[in-house]
A and B are shown apart, each in its own frame.
Chain A
């Protein structure tokens, strides 16, 4: 098993390397000259040439990629094209906010989703299961910005309970904390809970279909006991896997949610950078997000390996 996990980690590293190439190539696709685009139409040829050499645009692409990659590993992410602040500093000031948002969302989602999913699996085919099923499908297929819009309409415009925009920065009391996080977390949780509960239900049901569960029921064990003591331990691996995969949906969600609620996180920084075409910042933010995503997916894979006894001897 250690060999299997080691090879899984090696594959993740390789994937990260390919992803870095993808991100670099995608951001270099800009037709025409970046220096020209930065300086605008009225720039003199001298100024464009000078900026080209400062930005190393006169060097071949593979060389610039290697320099950029070396800089990434070194922690030197370059400077923003817009305000010339080091990218590392910009990211450093926003990353904790995004991590906090993700942590609060995860803390809300995991218990709720597991409860919903397990109940649906226990009472499979019941009215609750079918209604919950339709609701979950609907929640998964509605875009986050709609959920956010409706939540603002209900809680901020009609009921006046919560502010429509989160003001990050200083939070002094639990009430303030709640007011800042309530709407963004509600929006994010909506999709993630539905996804996680569906996968939990599916994982548990596939265990419940096995013959040892039928045996346990036949010998007279109560259904709740069968689910909690007989089935759940065996479904734990797939469920942890489902949790990690669902949390990776966070990465798409935060981009929308941080923009709508003006939350000062990394995703908002990246959307602003895209709007101003601030390439070094876009590249660095993209790499942070891809790394986070790969970490979650790899974690899910390793959990799946650890929980499967058949893979233990490899």
Chain B
């Protein structure tokens, strides 16, 4: 193995560790945020709007004089929690249907794949707009919509993986043994595709975060006084002219979260390719 390859692998590893710690940091914040926040989410605590960073308000205040640190801490729950829930739902439903399609083949596969293809050809933000136009915006609607939007993508990835595995000899052996379809799905196919599925989960999580914060930015996502990071950018956008931390901090929060998840996936999957090549 050449020095350059080793060096690249080391730098890849470093990127991965940095990315992992940023992701871990935000997940910890999302889990603990509401409990450690110094003020309640909607409390106006200062007469000074768009205040800069100070000891009383470590991240300044927003356009109504609310404590920005508390808003960001609560926003972490609404951004990461909602997105995580929607992604879990999408990957679970998509993955189950994909396993079913791969294990049964034939008509099940054809009908499911056709339906998913139709669903995937509605651009995601557009689908969100249409559903929210009809149902109005609330957290359950947002979770459900995001889950429906990203189910077909999860289905496609999982099906592509599962079909390859379903064609292998040990699956034929399991069939000949007379195993039930559910056993073949869960005990024979699934364990062999877990790692790529995990990568896909990460990617889909980023898409959901981007979609939801985009909707919130349009004023169609999480509704006030609750706020995810997208709504925080939207409601404090006037502070842009004064360079207020109220608009810059949530923007940085979204960017660091999505970029680090993406870099983490990149470093994981390239390490796997490296392992395969050996």
Contacts and interface: CB of A to CB of B under 8 A. Distances in A.
Given A27-B134, A137-B259, A145 B129 contact: no
Q: On chain B, which size bracket covers the interface? A: 35 or more
Interface string B103-131: 00000000000110111011111110111
B185 interface: no
A28 interface: yes
A138 B255 CA distance: 8
B210 interface: yes
Given A137-B263, A142-B258, A293-B123, A18 B115 contact: yes
B126 A286 contact: yes
Interface in A140-172: 140-146, 149-150, 152-153, 157
A269 to B, nearest CB: 11
A303 B121 CA distance: 18
Contacts of A11: 117
Contacts of B121: 15-16, 19, 290, 293-294, 297
Contacts of A26: 127, 130-131, 134
Contacts of B213: 143, 145
Contacts of B251: 146, 149-150
A22 B118 contact: yes
Nearest to A26: B130
Nearest to A34: B134
Interface stretch (B50-58, B193-201, B215-223): B215-223
A251 B130 CA distance: 14
A28 B134 CA distance: 7
A157 B121 CA distance: 38
A273 interface: yes
B105 to A, nearest CB: 19
B134 A19 contact: no
Contact of A141 (B11, B114, B206): B206
B87 interface: no
Interface string A259-292: 1000000000011011101010011001001100
A31 B140 CA distance: 15
A282 B131 CA distance: 10
Contact of A256 (B15, B214, B266): B214
Given A29-B135, A248-B123, A289-B123, A138 B259 contact: yes
A145 B214 contact: yes
Interface stretch (B30-38, B168-176, B233-241): B233-241
B132 interface: yes
B73 interface: no
- Interface of A, helix, strand, loop or mixed by DSSP: helix
Contacts of B243: 153
- Interface of B, helix, strand, loop or mixed by DSSP: helix
Given A23-B130, A149-B240, A137 B8 contact: no
B122 A29 contact: no
Contact of A251 (B4, B126, B132, B219): B126
A144 B214 contact: yes
Interface in B225-268: 230, 233-234, 237, 240-241, 243, 247, 251, 254-255, 258-259, 261-263, 266
Contacts of A138: 255, 259, 262
B123 A252 contact: yes
A293 B119 CA distance: 12
A30 interface: yes
B133 A279 contact: yes
Contacts of B259: 137-138, 141-142
Contacts of A54: none
A30 B251 CA distance: 33
Given A144-B214, A149-B240, A125 B8 contact: yes
Interface in A1-39: 11, 14-16, 18-19, 22-23, 26-31
Contacts of A293: 121-123
Contact of B126 (A15, A143, A273, A290): A290
B117 A29 contact: no
B127 to A, nearest CB: 8
A15 B233 contact: no
Interface in A110-127: 125
Interface of B: 4, 8, 11, 15, 114-115, 117-119, 121-127, 129-135, 206, 210, 213-214, 217-220, 230, 233-234, 237, 240-241, 243, 247, 251, 254-255, 258-259, 261-263, 266
Given A26-B134, A146-B251, 14 more contacts: A27-B133, A134-B263, A137-B263, A138-B262, A143-B214, A145-B230, A145-B233, A149-B247, A153-B240, A251-B123, A252-B125, A270-B129, A275-B220, A290-B126
Interface of A: 11, 14-16, 18-19, 22-23, 26-31, 125, 130, 133-134, 137-138, 140-146, 149-150, 152-153, 157, 248, 251-252, 255-256, 259, 270-271, 273-275, 277, 279, 282-283, 286, 289-290, 293-294, 297
5 contacts: A137-B262, A145-B213, A256-B214, A275-B220, A282-B130
Instruction: State the 5 A-B residue pairs at the shortest beta-carbon distance, nearest first.
Output: A18-B118, A141-B258, A274-B133, A29-B134, A141-B262
